[in-house]
Amino acid sequence: MKLHWSLGAKALSASAMALFLSLPLHAQDTSSSAAETTGQSSTQESHSAHHRWHRQARENHDKMRRLMERQDAELRRLTDAMNQAPPDKKLDRACAVINKLVEQRREMHAEMEGMHQKMLHQVGVEK
């Protein structure tokens, strides 16, 4: 026995089949959409953290540059004083330059360590 489908029955059957088949896909789309939203949110947070890190790095760079310019000016002043000093004062002036170099080196190391700790803290790593 062969079934004869009317045009309306065929359309209704096709619509029902399309609706039935689209339900799991729609559910999958919803879950993937939620995952994409979560992924986008995570990506945006990561992007924002990356920008904060770069901004902090620029600020650190600028701060270090200003420190080095100040230290260089200080050393120029001391070496000029050393070079212009009379022979009996040159040794004292040379000692002043050496002491200043040691002081600046300690200051630079402390500053760099502070920046390093600050950046580690910013990315969530504690030493």
Phi first, then psi, for residue 74 (nearest 5°) are -65, -45
Q: Which two tokens stand for residue 69?
A: 């310019």
Give the number of domains in the chain. 1
CA–CA distance from 115 to each of 61, 100, 101, 106 (Å)?
A: 10, 22, 21, 14
Give the mean model confidence (pLDDT) for residues 87-114: 95
Would you list the DSSP string of 40-61? HHHHHHHHHHHHHHHHHHHHHH
pTM attached to this predicted model: 0.57
- What pLDDT digit, counting tens, does each position of 52-90 carry? 888 888 988 999 999 999 999 999 999 999 999 999 999
The secondary element (H helix, E strand) that includes residue 79 is helix 7-84
Which residue segment(s) compose the domain that 73 sits in? 8-122
Establish if 127 belongs to a structural domain: no
Would you say residue 73 lies in a domain?
Answer: yes
